[in-house]
Structure 1
Amino acid sequence: MSTDDVSRRAFIRTAGGATAAAGATAVTSGTAAAQEAEPAWPSGAEGNVGSYQDARGQDSVTVSVGAGDQGLAFDPTLLWVDTGT
């Protein structure tokens, strides 16, 4: 086993722990029912193809990949889902 393998494993372990911690923090930030105001969307998402979709409370959501005139967009571009989804 090379030292590169150990480094990759350490990175994956650290990244996984950071992701779990971030997820736990997001879950405690409130429920979707308490978040009635529309979120502030990233400015880069404005003007893209598609529309805003409020998908809170849905079990599954479909996002089209390759939408738009050049096939380089997502539809819906702006998607609001429940915390922890």
Structure 2
Amino acid sequence: MAKKTTQATGFEEALNELEKLVETMESGELTLEESLKTFEKGVALTRQCETALREAEQKIEMLSQASEDAELEQVSADSVSN
């Protein structure tokens, strides 16, 4: 289960870093060379985020299909509190 947490954390970290890179580039204070390096890093982070989202979407789809195949059970309030 640690892998899932790491993956989610990795996504959040990548997204936060990407947002910071965008802010830095929008400031207009970078040289051309710095801008290109920052852009390159941003592309890599974008790909990382897209991969994580695609994997999550596939997992949700698999779980949804499994749920459709399973029979629904009525859950009473008494069974939940035990």
Same fold (TM over 0.5): no
TM-score in terms of structure 2 length = 0.39
Quick check: which has more Rg, 1 or 2? 2
Question: With CA pairs under 8 Å and 6+ residues apart, which has the higher RCO, 1 or 2?
Answer: 2
The structure with the largest strand share of the pair is 1
The structure with the largest helix share of the pair is 2
TM-score in terms of structure 1 length = 0.38
